[in-house]
Structure 1
Amino acid sequence: MTADKPYLTGHYTPVADEITATELTVEGALPPELNGLLLRNGHNPKPGVTPTHWFKGSGMVHGVRLCEGRAAWYRNRWVHTPALQGAPYMTELGPDLTASTAGTHVIEHAGRLLALCEANVPFEITPELETVGAHDFGGKLRTAMTAHPKEDPVTGELHFFGSSPFPPHLVYYVADAKGEIVHSSEVPGATAALKHDFALTRRHVVFVEGNVTFDPAESSGIPYGWSDRQPARIGVMPRGDDGARHTRWFSIEPGNMLHTANAYEDGRGRVVLEGPTVDREGFLLSWNWWVGAPGRGTEPVARSYTRRWVVDLDAGTVDEQIIDDLPVEFPTLNEEYLGSENRYQYAISFPDEKGFGGYGVVKYDRTTGARRIHQAGDARMPGEAVFLPAAGATREDDGYLLTVVSDLKQDASHLLVLDASGLDRIATVHLPHRVSAGLHGSWIPSTGPDDTEA
């Protein structure tokens, strides 16, 4: 590993081994209703491996089991895909969709735990984080799968897509609550632009194409780059079996968005979409960091600001504005409000391109415009904050935020539990070693007493 690769140093230094630890030390009092498993995924190359891009590091899943006020265990495991053993993505027969890093996200649907990477098919893992194997939904998944599927909180359906730089550029899927794909359709009008995330409303599916698109000349192994010629657009597709042929695309200002915060229809039927975006300069700062090129910023999201788009389907217009000047990423919310109008959103704050500002967990009140920050502290970097509703919750923000924090001064990590209402600290779970800064994760509630022990 070399010092010129920022994604292999500091908070991002890979973990070198797999361990299991039980009965973790807890400061404060864990809420007794937190019975389940917190999973967090991220890129973590094996010792001796130096990937050419942060996104090409092999996936490692970290898990913390909470049970009746205890932190029963921690364990971490690489996702054992062909890529972990060096198998190439591109072969003489085309891409091998099983040669995955499986390092972007980890979710549960219909009783399966799936580690995800958008260029590949999912990999199933066990609750003990051991790898089961590639999962293609019984052969019905014919493409790669986004790392950001959306589970409808009303129907239990899983909505997702497969994106490719080659036609068909965009295929939309729906799996029912039992995990069976019941619908797939090609989305007309899509281009080779990068589509990392999307949004779901009660009536529509919302896709975003920014200025980052397929670039065969890119040498990092991730063949994408900024193009001023690629139009930035929002695609709005009605939900339902016949929705794809009614997809409409709307031009927006140049930029690129990796993660949506939420989308919904307002009282006038307009589609409202929010999420952090970067401009051209912000993307180049991030890209240079991701590949270890000269000119990289202090952080890969140093110019990532929350933007709101309001799509008026009747008028055929889009109103957009930056609604906050704080660099943030990894937006989350109480997922019971996914697809509906939400008052509260959460995110992680980062230093700006000059190194000013610090890491923290941010709460936005979309009704009042207020912003609250829980400062992480010097040399402490929190990861994506997962929202868990409190027992008997009556308010949208009545719950907890769980985030894994990397602490460089202590060369350690801890699981931080915050009150989602005021961002006050409730408990800290000390982990047995430092967890490298990663990407996304999920909370998996316990289904019975048998899944709470090591």
Structure 2
Amino acid sequence: MGVQAGFETLDREVVVDLEVRGELPHWLAGTLVRNGPARFETDKGSFRHWFDGLAMLHRFGFADGAVTYRNKYLETPSFRAARDDGHIAFGEFATDPCRTIFSRFFTHPRLRNTSNANVNVVSDGDRDFALTETPIAVEFDRETLATVGLTDHHDGIDGHVTTAHPHRAPLTGDLVNYALKFGRRSVYRIYRQRGQVKELLASMPTDRPGYMHSFAVTERHVVLAVFPLVVNPLSLLLRAKPFIENYRWRPELGTRFVVFDQRDGSVVADERTDAFFAFHHINAYDEDGRVVVDIAAYPDSTVVDALYLDRVRGDAELPLSFPTRYEVDLSGGGIRSRRLASDTLELPRIAYGSHNGRDYRYAYGVGARDNGTRDFLNQLVKVDVHSGQVKLWHEPGRYPGEPVFVPAPGARSEDDGVLLSVVLDAGAGRSGLLVLDAATFTEIARADVPHAIPFGFHGQFTSR
């Protein structure tokens, strides 16, 4: 079956108790909810890209050393159209449902009106939401994973696309994100949410919007890294192509770092550096008149094309990202950059609750064994960003997902806690939950799931 099992449709929805091998920490109690695509075909069509599959939630519950598991599709208009009518009815990242120039012009599917929230999950304290790169969020019940309904997660902050990676501002606790509105003069709108009130913080007009999957915050700033994968907004309406295929790689533009003051939205730095591309920021912080921004950086945007399903199911090479530091001088001194480690890193996580937006030491993620490009992401990585030292977890034939850090109560150090990762055993055709000691990077427990879980994107742990 091989790595292809991670890109195959999962039809089963189950509720089961898992057998735990090893011993979980007595303090580990709560839920891990992971999100990702799990259906790649309909009766009348197929999705073209990994990012387009229909969203399924996976819940791991922890209590008294035991683990439970359940999984469930998000029942959105996008899902119901595929299930009930067999249609791909909404524009996705790289899949266009329309078949004629006439219908393309009048429905504008490339503006991605999908409710297929398959990227991330977030909680506002009382409610839980699944997110994608459109402003449509999907509320779900954390215990049952049942879909509650759709909501405009921006609520008055007008825009066509956004990120599924909102941040909590380290000092205020505000939820910060941006929305991009396409138009003759497109505009990025950065906003913050205090309680249930959303407030526009800053606007930045642009003629050629860039594709940005994430951004960064520090204690004092919001940072947008605008990569030169850009679009003419008219193309989204006039060209017969899916959303991302309207974007063009323009390395001569370089990568633009724009730093905004969180207090009043003013621009305190606007600098460019050599072209590169990324999906994920690792962390950022303020230091001595500079903003330090760590990113899982690719040399260019070819990774987007590499993740079409016909390629990842085959033997195409996978471009690799490396943890890279960019230091933006706030006094106009430009940008310095350097690689933080020699091993690849993607789907990065940190001790978010204590170190997001602040100086930190450890980053966790997935990578490729010996930096190989002929296999999918097949190891877990821990990077000491101070020293560049790396710890690795690898087992042949196993493919781990994003490692979520859970701190121990009263943690005595930044890496005092555990990492939770869903790992596909390609040979057995099933997945399991792997629990590592974050400090030593050694296994302390695992629990097998009764099926293969398709490769997902992001998840969150909560103690409730």
The TM-score bracket by the shorter chain reads 0.7 to 0.9
Asked if the contact 1:53/1:220 (under 8 Å) is kept, the reply is no
Q: Does 2:251 correspond to 1:228?
A: yes
Which one of the candidate residues 272, 283, 295 is aligned to 1:262?
A: 283
Secondary structure at the aligned position of 1:314 is classed as coil
Give the partner amino acid of 2:244.
Answer: I
Secondary structure at the aligned position of 2:423 is classed as strand
Q: 1:56 to 1:399 in 2, by over 3 A?
A: same
- Tell me whether 333-342 or 96-105 shows the greater mean CA deviation: 96-105
Q: Does 2:155 correspond to 1:139?
A: yes
Equivalent residue for 1:346? Answer: 364
Equivalent residue for 1:250? Answer: 271
Asked if the contact 2:366/2:400 (under 8 Å) is kept, the reply is yes
Which structure 2 segments of 5+ residues have no match?
Answer: 82-87, 92-103
- Could you tell me how far 1:32 is from its partner in structure 2? 2.1
- Tell me whether 97-106 or 179-188 shows the greater mean CA deviation: 179-188
Equivalent residue for 1:404? Answer: 422
- Could you tell me how far 1:200 is from its partner in structure 2? 0.4
- Tell me whether 388-397 or 154-163 shows the greater mean CA deviation: 154-163
Equivalent residue for 1:70? Answer: 66
Equivalent residue for 1:450? Answer: none
- Tell me whether 410-419 or 349-358 shows the greater mean CA deviation: 349-358
CA distance in 2, matches of 1:438, 1:37: 17
Secondary structure at the aligned position of 2:6 is classed as helix
Which one of the candidate residues 292, 301, 306 is aligned to 1:272?
A: 292
Q: 1:295 to 1:391 in 2, by over 3 A?
A: closer
Secondary structure at the aligned position of 1:258 is classed as strand
Secondary structure at the aligned position of 1:44 is classed as strand
TM-score computed with the length of structure 2 as normaliser:
0.85
* Partner deviation per Cα, 1:94-122 (whole Å, 9 max, x = no partner): 56775222011112123221111113321
Which structure 1 segments of 5+ residues have no match?
Answer: 447-454
CA distance in 2, matches of 1:74, 1:428: 13
Give the partner amino acid of 1:120.
Answer: P
Q: 1:138 to 1:52 in 2, by over 3 A?
A: closer
Q: How do 1:293-304 residues align onto structure 2 when only pairs under 5 Å count?
A: 298=316, 300=318, 302-304=319-321
Equivalent residue for 1:88? Answer: 90
Q: 1:120 to 1:296 in 2, by over 3 A?
A: farther
- Could you tell me how far 1:289 is from its partner in structure 2? 3.2
Give the partner amino acid of 1:129.
Answer: L
Asked if the contact 2:368/2:379 (under 8 Å) is kept, the reply is yes
Which one of the candidate residues 398, 409, 434 is aligned to 2:452?
A: 434
Secondary structure at the aligned position of 2:279 is classed as coil
- Could you tell me how far 1:46 is from its partner in structure 2? 5.5
Asked if the contact 2:223/2:259 (under 8 Å) is kept, the reply is yes
- Could you tell me how far 1:316 is from its partner in structure 2? 3.0
CA distance in 1, matches of 2:207, 2:31: 37
CA distance in 2, matches of 1:53, 1:46: 9
Secondary structure at the aligned position of 2:156 is classed as coil
Q: Does 2:32 correspond to 1:11?
A: no
Which one of the candidate residues 366, 372, 392 is aligned to 1:373?
A: 392
Equivalent residue for 2:261? Answer: 238
* Partner deviation per Cα, 1:385-425 (whole Å, 9 max, x = no partner): 11111022111111111011111111111111111101111
- Tell me whether 437-446 or 359-368 shows the greater mean CA deviation: 359-368
What do you get for the CA RMSD once the two structures are aligned?
2.7
Asked if the contact 2:8/2:40 (under 8 Å) is kept, the reply is no
- Could you tell me how far 1:175 is from its partner in structure 2? 1.1
Q: 1:202 to 1:153 in 2, by over 3 A?
A: closer
Q: How do 1:13-412 residues align onto structure 2 when only pairs under 5 Å count?
A: 13-21=8-16, 23-45=17-39, 47-48=41-42, 49-71=45-67, 73-84=68-79, 85=81, 86-89=88-91, 92=106, 99-127=114-142, 128-137=144-153, 139-143=155-159, 144-166=161-183, 167-176=185-194, 178-188=195-205, 191-214=208-231, 216=235, 219-223=241-245, 224-240=247-263, 242-243=264-265, 245-246=266-267, 248-266=269-287, 268-280=288-300, 283-290=301-308, 292=310, 298=316, 300=318, 302-335=319-352, 336-351=354-369, 352=371, 354-355=373-374, 359-375=378-394, 377-412=395-430
Q: 1:82 to 1:299 in 2, by over 3 A?
A: farther
CA distance in 1, matches of 2:57, 2:388: 35
Secondary structure at the aligned position of 1:135 is classed as strand
* Partner deviation per Cα, 1:57-99 (whole Å, 9 max, x = no partner): 111111111112111x211111122222243247846567752
* Partner deviation per Cα, 1:104-148 (whole Å, 9 max, x = no partner): 111212322111111332111111211112222583343243111
CA distance in 2, matches of 1:212, 1:150: 23
Asked if the contact 1:193/1:213 (under 8 Å) is kept, the reply is yes
CA distance in 2, matches of 1:394, 1:374: 23
* Partner deviation per Cα, 1:144-165 (whole Å, 9 max, x = no partner): 4311111234432211111245
CA distance in 1, matches of 2:221, 2:339: 23
Give the partner amino acid of 2:152.
Answer: D
Secondary structure at the aligned position of 1:55 is classed as helix
- Could you tell me how far 1:294 is from its partner in structure 2? 11
- Tell me whether 321-330 or 284-293 shows the greater mean CA deviation: 284-293
TM-score computed with the length of structure 1 as normaliser:
0.87
CA distance in 2, matches of 1:179, 1:299: 45
- Tell me whether 359-368 or 46-55 shows the greater mean CA deviation: 46-55
